[in-house]
Amino acid sequence: MGATDPEKLVVVIDFDLNLDGTFSSPPQVVNDEQIELSEDPFWALARQAALDAVMNCEPYDFFSAKTYESWKEIRLNFSPAEMGGR
């Protein structure tokens, strides 16, 4: 929103799920170090927003238990480029 190059502010989050859709390990920001080093306040906000979103959605109980093997480990690439305000 405030950043002039939002397409660069990608946040990558890994998380693992139990069969009931709860986290089996806390979500990890894969590119956390890169975000820290950049000292870009918009990127830090994007990271917080992405983490909040992932946390808010737990439990991920809308998947079928039959396909558990296919969704027990998830990686989300948040790419703000096309999100509102621009």
Under the rule (CB under 8 A), what is the footprint of another protein?
Answer: 1-4, 6, 9, 14, 41-42, 44-46, 49-50, 52-57, 60, 62-64, 67, 69-71, 73-86
Least separation in angstroms between residue 30's CB and another protein is 11
CA-based nearest residue to 8, from 43, 41, 34, 33:
43
Least separation in angstroms between residue 45's CB and another protein is 4
Least separation in angstroms between residue 33's CB and another protein is 19
Q: Which amino acid is at 29?
A: V
